Amino acid sequence: MNFDLLKTMSAIHAPSGNETAMTDFLLNYIKENKKNWKHKPVVHYGKELQDCIVLVFGKPRTAIFAHIDSIGFTVRYGKQLVKIGGPRIIDGFELVGSDSKGKIEAKLKVMYDKKSGYDKIEYSSKRDAETGTELTFKPNWRETKDYVQCCYMDNRLGVWNALQVAETLKDGVIVFSCWEEHGGGSVSYIQKFLQEKYKVSQALISDITWLTEGVKHGQGVAISMRDSLIPRRSYVNKIIDIAKTSKIPFQLEVEGSGGSDAKELQMAEYPWDWCFIGAPEDNVHTPDEKVHKKDIQSMIDLYTVLMKKL
């Protein structure tokens, strides 16, 4: 597998609420590469979808949702930081961003505030960033025989997976959504659009999960049976049966916390089925997110089969 595209996407600045750079990159990539895909999609984007992109292939039955935003930090006043989503707070993490004065390189600074009893987060840098500036993890791409590692595998890897599936997809939808890391907001209007225009009401969530005592590196993509929400069991069972028949390596995940774009689908105006299917990673929400190449391959393989058979 060639991971040059994933490496490039991992370095794009696109924290929740400011996904424009990632949107522009994807639109350009789709324009340049769709001529090489087996089937050409209808590309929906623009004002009505804000920074989201929807690709519709043939006669769709199932939609893949992959969020394009990342976690990070917003500069408050002076050196103060406010979290975007749920980044791990570890002293010394390298951060990057830019404001009207140019690029900024900084380090995360964690201090205990006696008054509040909570850790206080700031940044250290040569100059103060302007209020409202976003800082994200500095990319440091590493690749070995078995692993890829960098910031924002969650969810640039989910996006990369969707783009691999797009190369051969005949019938289906691929959604590149926004705001997932910080509460969501885009999926609710996209599901309505897909239901009303294309009669699509089932989804696969192309996102990255975490290693646990029951989900390991190199054992295959994880099919989540539940997290903080519970999908409809009959739909998940159908996916598991297809995975077993296909003989693609997979693991079953059961968690009591966590969430994804599926949260909005389950609470949507229309009834939707959904299942989270993603490769597991170590060092979640840090600059060092690490994923096994075997799990990435099984993720692509399973999505390709499911989009044909669901």
Cut 0.95: pTM above it = yes
What percentage of the chain exceeds 90 in pLDDT?
Answer: 95
| Statement to judge: residues 87 and 235 lie in one domain | no
With the CA atoms of 244, 246, 249 and 250 taken in that order, what torsion angle do they form, in degrees rounded to the nearest 10?
A: -50
Point out the domain boundary residue: 87, 120, 137: 137
Same domain, 228 and 208: yes
Do residues 103 and 241 share a domain? Answer: no
Residue 115 and residue 56 share a domain: no
Same domain, 209 and 267: yes
Mean pLDDT of 51-64: 98
Residue 117 in this model has a pLDDT that exceeds 80: no
Number of domains in the chain: 2
Domain boundary among 137, 160, 192: 137
Within this chain, do residues 180 and 154 fall inside the same structural domain, yes or no? yes
Q: Are residues 243 and 291 in the same domain?
A: yes
Its sign, for the CA torsion 173, 16, 8, 156, is negative
pLDDT-based confidence at 278, cuts 50/70/90? very high
CATH code of the domain containing 90: 2.40.30.40
102 in the same domain as 56? no
**Residue that is last in its domain, among 137, 153, 185:** 137
What pLDDT sits at residue 114? 76
85 and 147 together in one domain: no
> Shortest CA distance to 184 belongs to which of 205, 162, 209, 161?
205
Judge whether residue 118 has pLDDT over 80. Answer: no
pLDDT per residue over 126-158, tens digit each?
999 999 999 999 999 999 999 999 999 999 999
One domain for residues 50 and 192: yes
Domain boundaries, position 127: 73-137
Mark whether 61 and 78 lie in a shared domain. Answer: no
Beta-strand runs (E) in 72-144: 72-75, 81-84, 94-99, 102-113, 118-124, 134-137, 142-143
The answer on 194 and 102 residing in a single domain is no
